[in-house]
Amino acid sequence: MKDGFLSKIASGVGGKKGRFITLGIWIIAIIVLQIFFPKAADYKDDAAKDLPSSEQQVSKDGTTLIQTVIMEDSATSDELTKSFNQLESAAKTTIGEDPFAEKVTASDKLVARTTGPAGISVDASGLFKDADVSLLIGTVLLVLVFLLVIYRSPILALIPLVAVGF
C-alpha cells in the first residue's frame, strides 16, 4: 500500500517540486477567479426607497401602522432604553392605556412594538446584562471537563485554569 494511488498523489503534491507547483496553481486560480468572476459588491444594493414625507405607512386594510422614530446614531443602549420608556409613557398618557403591554393577538386593542436597530440593541443589552457571569462559569466548567478528559488528572487540569485566572 505504500506505493498506492493516494500515496503517489500525496508525494507529487507535497514533494520538493510538487508543493511549489501546487502553490503556483492555487495562486493562478485565485488571480483568474478575481479577474473574470464578478465581485459580491456588484450585486449589493443598499439603496432603499425614501419614506413618504409624513413618515407613516399604513397597511392596505388599515389595521397596521408603521411609524418611524429617528434616534441619534451615537445613542447608547441605556439612552435608547430611556427614550423607549419616554415613548411608552407618552403613549399611555395619550391613549389612556399601555399599547406596549397588550398581546399581539389582541384584536380589539391597540398594540405597539418597537423594532429596528434601536429595538434590537435594547433587547440584546437586556438579554446579556446578567449573562456575563453565567457564560463565564459555563465556559470554565466546559474547559475543565475538556482538560480532565485530555490530561486525566484533576491537578493537571486545574493548573491551566489557575494560570488563566491569574
Spatial distance between the Cα atoms of 23 and 19, rounded to a whole number of angstroms = 6
Residue 32 pLDDT level (bands cut at 50, 70, 90): very high
From 1-5, 13-17, 57-61, 138-142, the region with the lowest mean pLDDT: 1-5
pTM over 0.75: no
| CA dist., res. 89 & res. 78, Å (int) | 17
109-134 core/surface letters (b: 16 or more CB in 10 A; e: else): eeeeebeeebeebbeeeeeeeeeeee
- pLDDT of 1 > 60? The answer is no
